Amino acid sequence: MSRFELTRAALQRALDGALQYLQGLERTAVAPKVGRSTLRNRFIKPLRRKGASPEKVVTDLIADCDGSIVGSSTGRFFGWAVGGTLPAALAADWLVSAWDQNAVLYACAPAAAQVEEVVGSWLKDLLNLPQRASFALTTGCQMAHVTCLAAARNRLLAKLGWDVERNGLRGAPLIRIFANDQRHGSIERAARLLGLGTEHILAVATDTDGRVLVNVLEQALRAHEPAGSAIVILQAGDFHTGAFDNFRALISIAHRYGAWVHVDGAFGLWAAASPLYRHLTEALNTADSWAVDGHKWLNVPFDCGYAFVADSEAHRNAISHRASYLTHDREARDQIDWNPEWSRRARGFPTYAALRQLGRDGVVDLIERSCLHASALVSRIGSMPGAEILAKPIINQGLVRFVAGRPDASEEDHDRKTEEVIRSVNASGEAFFTASTWHGRRVMRVSVCNWRTTEADIDRAVAAFQKLLT
């Protein structure tokens, strides 16, 4: 077989397998059916001396994964904050692998660089961020935080007379991070990776839904010395309740004390694209940096996040690199100037394709429909006997809890009941939800991020709870 024929056979098998999977989405159970030991036995094979044909490798892979794929592509997946994949984005993602471009420099992947430039501008427009902001397409929101906070570290320390890129952090003025006490753990990991240290993250008290209390932040910053050595982390979309911070008040206070304001908007920043929800993001564009995901609510394949930085010079100072063997095109945008990785996937193509497929109206529809579905799920499940609503969705996230029927039931009993109901619904294969702990109590998160979710999916998920609870 020629090299082309070998490739064609493997790709054809992958296409058939993928289409078969996608065609069966309505019928398949959302939760995986295969247990860990079966899965392990399927994959633990000796690495043979002689390789197999590409077609056989793909055929075996499909067979070995059978029954173990979490149905996060279905419209009945409501766990964590996991999006699906739009058809154009999925197809573009396959082309990314076929073209196998190294999207580090314009010189090595001109179309990838050009597309990222366009995508950056479209995203800023949709998310109502300043057009002058620099940006990077990262692996996800986690690395978008790292990118943005590297820029913050650069700028704050430069203003305090310290060149962190050259001298590192030893002996540098201390940077403190003031972050919402309900923050996502990716903030902590970013602080660790950047050497800022979790010890120097100060938790700022929040209201019940997770919004930073304005007077508490003001007091904390007033007490902090020297001015200009703080990073304030705000949130567009608390990951339990979807709550948004009061950006207008908080950003202006933070700036008064010379702080850098970074916004975690992993999914919630997309609210800015919708006329119905945009008010939640008012004044958010006056922050200094923003992190948001593509692979959650925009429904592009993993891995895709976006970092935006208002101070492009700080961004570039923190990330850019030059070497004699790299070829730079002065007119073009080289991703190595903005991205923490070196060699990298041309992840701009799926975002470009997703945005072209949806158009502006499609983005708005995706956001608003997800919010409607989340609201319907929470109110319909939460009003069943033995259920209670803890957080009605502000956008696409809400919280429900299940209570044990006994009159003397304790909080632990309700926690157990909540876990049990989630387990049973997931085991039914009809829908998939995940648990979390919120204000000390186990809760069921309701999260809708998938373009495929329809009213029929909501009915099906509700029916699964009805069967259990009534």
Ligand X SMILES: Cc1ncc(COP(=O)(O)O)c(C=O)c1O
Footprint on this chain of ligand X (rule: CB under 6 A): 81, 140-142, 184, 186, 239, 264, 266, 293, 305
Which residue, 186 or 426, has its beta carbon nearer to ligand X? 186
Residue 187 carries which DSSP code? H
Which residue, 307 or 387, has its beta carbon nearer to ligand X? 307
DSSP, residue by residue, 372-405: HHHHHHHHHHHTSTTEEEEE--SSSEEEEEE--S
Q: How far is the CB of 187 from ligand X (least distance, A)?
A: 8
Q: How far is the CB of 27 from ligand X (least distance, A)?
A: 28
CA distance 173 to 131: 32
Q: Which residue is nearest to ligand X (CB)?
A: 140
Q: How far is the CB of 141 from ligand X (least distance, A)?
A: 3
CA distance 129 to 365: 20
Q: How far is the CB of 210 from ligand X (least distance, A)?
A: 10
Which residue, 142 or 351, has its beta carbon nearer to ligand X? 142
DSSP, residue by residue, 327-386: ---TTS--GGGT-S-SS---THHHHHHHHHHHHHHHHHHHHHHHHHHHHHHHHHHHTSTT
**Phi, psi angle pair for 78, to nearest 5°:** -125, 25
Which residue, 183 or 414, has its beta carbon nearer to ligand X? 183
Among 28, 13, 10, smallest CA distance to 73 is for 28
Residue whose pair of structure tokens reads 């186990």 in the numeric block: 442
Q: How far is the CB of 106 from ligand X (least distance, A)?
A: 26
Which residue, 201 or 387, has its beta carbon nearer to ligand X? 201
Which residue, 187 or 336, has its beta carbon nearer to ligand X? 187
Q: How far is the CB of 239 from ligand X (least distance, A)?
A: 4
- DSSP helix, strand, coil percent of the chain (3-state; round to 5): 45, 15, 40
Q: How far is the CB of 149 from ligand X (least distance, A)?
A: 13
Q: How far is the CB of 368 from ligand X (least distance, A)?
A: 20
Which residue, 236 or 314, has its beta carbon nearer to ligand X? 236
3-class DSSP assignment, residue 235: strand
Which residue, 147 or 186, has its beta carbon nearer to ligand X? 186
Q: How far is the CB of 201 from ligand X (least distance, A)?
A: 15
CA distance 429 to 21: 16
Among 121, 97, 153, smallest CA distance to 346 is for 97
Kind of pairing between the strands at 176-180 and 201-204: parallel
3-class DSSP assignment, residue 176: strand
DSSP, residue by residue, 79-139: STT-----HHHHHHHHHHHHHT--TT-TTT-HHHHHHHHHHHHHHHHHTT--TT-EEEEES
Which residue, 14 or 250, has its beta carbon nearer to ligand X? 250
